[in-house]
Amino acid sequence: MLEPIWQPLAQVAKELDAGRLSSVELTTQVLHHIEATEPKIHSFLTLTPETALEEARAADERRARGERGPLLGVPIAVKDVILTKGVRTTAASRILENFVAPYDATVIRRLREAGAVFLGKLNCDEFAMGSSTENSAFGPTYNPWNLQRVPGGSSGGSAAAVAAGQCFAALGTDTGGSIRQPAACCGIVGVKPSYGRVSRYGLIAYASSFDQIGPMARTVADCALVLEIIAGRDPRDATSAAQPVPRYSAELERPLRGLRLALPQECFGEGVQAEVRDAVLSAVRWFESQGVAVVETSLPHSRYAVPTYYLVATAEASSNLARYDGVRFGLRLAEEAGLLTMYGRTRASGFGAEVKRRIMLGTYALSAGYYDAYYLKALKVRTLVRRDFEAAFTRADVVAMPTAPTTAFRLGEKTGDPLQMYLSDIFTIAANLAGLPALSLPCGFDQEGLPIGLQLVGRPFQEAQLLAAAHAYEQAHPWKSQHPSL
């Protein structure tokens, strides 16, 4: 039998229910495993072993009183852009290095109610801005499959921790691909829900009209279990949608027959690593063999997705990050030099290079004289990107494509060229522009043994359909049982 730490979340909950394992035992094992692997991976920014064990004890007591639940007593971890009351929450930034969250994000509150055990806070690109986790102010995270490679980003710590068996599931956030791309890089499953599906209250905002919190885990079913807990309307988030939340975990066995899959021609051309293209196309053929109709489609505006996204997202970011001014919380420098210098120096030293670059870009896009040419223009193209998907969904239910054009790249490979780094989001961004649900799941490895991700994009609020399709594929393929050797 599999070691408990490598079991799927759904399985380990059964072990706990059966009394073959206590949450305290499980949490202790996980903490040992973290201790052993963390020097290589560096997925955590803050570990909270004491409170984790307390929470584990509390979960064991709840279970002893007859309570049941798939997350009760299960150790998970959280990307460090999500507020966890009483715990340092840094957004991987110097500017929040000592910030202790005074409240819980709504997703955290819901997971606490479900009895999850919180191991700590996971590394990421600073303020979730990046595609490699190299923009963390506290050092990069290393890909468990190959320590010379990045884990992807920005939720690289989350992806690496899950892939390395350091937790059963993690929360990530996805603004332009930050759940799916690292999930692909690390060979796990990551779900970006529809915009509005999961409350953003307590998520440190990067780009408000894109940001979504989502689950990352080793199996589709595990993601479904976490998603059904965190999804749903939140009276504290006016952009959270009122649509009822299905029990995703109960809908996984939906038959594939009747499903229609669309392949956008733009996503299989130049710039895509051959092994990635082959793995994705072979996954598509498997779907076809299962009675799924496959149609060619076109997303003609997807080639504009990167500029559109980077203009709108950085504009929002430039405003969202204005609150880091050294007045009410966070870093403060040079107060003796007066207010203006305090602002300028605090922010210049507190933010890293990429964050500053995006603030500059967004400020420029919004500033007088450039607004129409950049920001407004990008918003209009955003409409066209959405229309492309609407057109595709008249002929298909799910759009399939690679999650990323390549497998995980080397550390340092793209840090010198911001634009090249931006282009690694080329396939993930469109779903964020259109607010659509999307997931990435493993569909093979390249010659160097690096995982490849298959991306499925669905209609708004059709997460259940995506999860069911992904689950069917996963059941028929061996990827989920392969783990990196550490």
Minimal distance in Å, beta carbon 32 to another protein?
32
What is the three-class DSSP state of 435? coil
The tokens describing 280, both together, are 């994705």
Minimal distance in Å, beta carbon 9 to another protein?
26
Q: Compute how many other C-beta atoms are within 10 angstroms of the C-beta atom of residue 348.
A: 11
Q: Which of 43, 136, 154, 440 is catalytic?
A: 154
CB-neighbour burial class of residue 1 (10 A; exposed 0-12, middle 13-18, buried 19+): exposed
Q: Is the peptide bond before 289 cis (omega within 30 degrees of 0)?
A: no
Q: Which CB atom, from 341 or from 482, has the smaller least distance to another protein?
A: 341
What 8-state DSSP symbol labels residue 350? Answer: H
The verdict on whether 178 is a catalytic residue reads: yes
Going by C-alpha positions, the residue among 456, 460, 451 that lies closest to residue 472 is: 456
Minimal distance in Å, beta carbon 44 to another protein?
20
Minimal distance in Å, beta carbon 180 to another protein?
18
Going by C-alpha positions, the residue among 111, 110, 84 that lies closest to residue 99 is: 84
Q: Which of 22, 23, 43, 79 is catalytic?
A: 79
Q: Which CB atom, from 65 or from 328, has the smaller least distance to another protein?
A: 328
Q: Which CB atom, from 359 or from 401, has the smaller least distance to another protein?
A: 359
The β-bridge relationship of strands 398-402 and 451-458 is antiparallel
Alpha carbon dihedral 362, 364, 368, 369, in 10-degree steps, equals: -120
| In 290-436, alpha helices (H) | 305-320, 339-350, 353-366, 377-392, 418-423, 429-434
Q: Which CB atom, from 233 or from 477, has the smaller least distance to another protein?
A: 233
CB-CB contact of 397 with 465 (8 Å): yes
What are the φ and ψ backbone dihedral angles of 470, each rounded to 5 degrees? -65, -40
Minimal distance in Å, beta carbon 240 to another protein?
6
Q: How far is CA 366 from CA 316, 371, 440, 473, 482, in A?
A: 9, 5, 33, 44, 47
CB-CB contact of 197 with 467 (8 Å): no
CB-CB contact of 216 with 223 (8 Å): yes
The verdict on whether 302 is a catalytic residue reads: no
Minimal distance in Å, beta carbon 434 to another protein?
8
Q: Which CB atom, from 226 or from 311, has the smaller least distance to another protein?
A: 311
The verdict on whether 154 is a catalytic residue reads: yes
Q: Which of 22, 23, 136, 178 is catalytic?
A: 178
Q: Please give the positions annotated as active site.
A: 79, 154, 178
